[in-house]
Amino acid sequence: MSRLALVNIAVLGLLIGGALVAHLTGHAFLVTLATKAAIFALAGVGLNFALGYGGLVSFGHAAFFGIGGYVTGILASHAMSGTPLTTLPYTMNGTNEMLAIWPMVLLVSGLAALAIGALSLRTSGVYFIMVTLAFAQMIYWFAIGWPAYGGEDGLSFYVRNTFPGVPTMRPLNYFLICTALLLLALGFTAVVMRARFGLALQAARRNTQRTVAVGIRPFGIRLTAFVISAMITGLAGSLYADLNRFVSPAMLNWHMSGEIMVFIILGGVGRLMGPVAGAVVFVTMEHLLGGITEYWQVLLGLVLLAIVLWAPGGIVGMLSGRGRDNAH
């Protein structure tokens, strides 16, 4: 077994083992922190799909994270109130079933990404970054001005949505649901990146001209990757809304896009387990240092600076001895 594989197993073991130990010792709050880390890791896996493998530096993924949260909150609030979501062209009711909510989240996030990506991918570099940021901020201000669902105050739905046969209000149960989805996303990413699509996407990131020369159209590949990336991030937003039983425009703010990017840079851009390692470190620092000082992010900034300067492969790259290479 390679050193990289051992590091990947250790990262997952730290997340899952930490939650199990916290549960067995009666520290439910720590289980919730582990759940938050798993959800953030899932959002990072989504962005890493586009950023790490496709070279698409998106500063608008908070839009998809927030869309996932709002779809979840809106459906749950209508189920709670008993009012239909819409009556035209036919009556559509809300739901509090996760298995019904998640497909809707994937659909809406994917459609939003298709529209945003079709426009933003016609640009590149800093222009792509600014276009994705602009779209995210437009959706953010729309949510603030949407009084039907709380506007600036956000939307509460009080009771966590349900999963067949599982009491989701129990911290460990919800952690296991989130972790199962994280593992599915990691497995999906690993398989896709070794398939023809993933190889073509990485080839387009390295050298667009050569990709075109061999008959591959980068635009379609990048757009597909952008949509898949958004769907995974939207699913993370749905889980985060359920964790808090609350959704607000803060989930759509560009700060959230920045945080998701921080997870990836900390753990390792283009590393399969990079977002997981980064999310665990981020949530741990927030918990340990946030209670000491409100300026804890200054230390986070120093850690991030050290990673960029001396360990560009991130935590996973540093521990696995892979340095700057792109082995996953």
Q: Tell me if 301 is assigned to some domain.
A: no
In this prediction, residue 287 carries a pLDDT of 92
Domain containing 162: what range? 10-251
pLDDT 10s digits, 153-211 = 999 998 899 999 999 999 999 999 999 999 999 999 999 999 999 999 999 999 888 88
**Token digits of residue 109:** 């996030």
Taking all residues of the chain, what is their mean pLDDT, rounded to a whole number?
93
Record the pTM. Answer: 0.95
CA–CA distance, 10 with 264 (Å, rounded to integer):
17
In this prediction, residue 210 carries a pLDDT of 87
**How many structural domains are present in the chain?**
1
Q: Tell me if 148 is assigned to some domain.
A: yes
Strand-pairing partners, residue 246, are 156
Model confidence at 327, in pLDDT bands (50, 70, 90)?
very low
Q: Tell me if 138 is assigned to some domain.
A: yes
Which residue did the predictor score with more confidence, 213 or 240? 240
Highest mean pLDDT among 66-70, 149-153, 157-161: 66-70
pLDDT average, residue stretch 29-49: 97
In this prediction, residue 324 carries a pLDDT of 55
Strand-pairing partners, residue 92, are 86
Q: Tell me if 169 is assigned to some domain.
A: yes
Q: Is the dihedral of CA 287, 289, 293, 294 positive or negative?
A: negative
Q: Tell me if 308 is assigned to some domain.
A: no
Between CA 111 and CA 222, with CA 190 as vertex, the angle to 5 degrees is 40
Q: Residue holding tokens 């039983």?
A: 245
pLDDT average, residue stretch 297-301: 90
Contact indicator for 35, 19 with CB cutoff of 8 Å: yes
pLDDT 10s digits, 213-231 = 888 889 999 999 999 999 9
Q: Tell me if 321 is assigned to some domain.
A: no
Q: Residue holding tokens 């790259």?
A: 317
Q: Tell me if 187 is assigned to some domain.
A: yes
pLDDT higher than threshold 60 for residue 328: no
Q: Tell me if 216 is assigned to some domain.
A: yes
In this prediction, residue 312 carries a pLDDT of 85
The reply to whether omega before 312 is within 30° of 0 (cis) is no
pLDDT higher than threshold 90 for residue 292: no
pLDDT higher than threshold 90 for residue 293: no
Contact indicator for 45, 214 with CB cutoff of 8 Å: no
pLDDT average, residue stretch 233-250: 97
Strand-pairing partners, residue 247, are 155
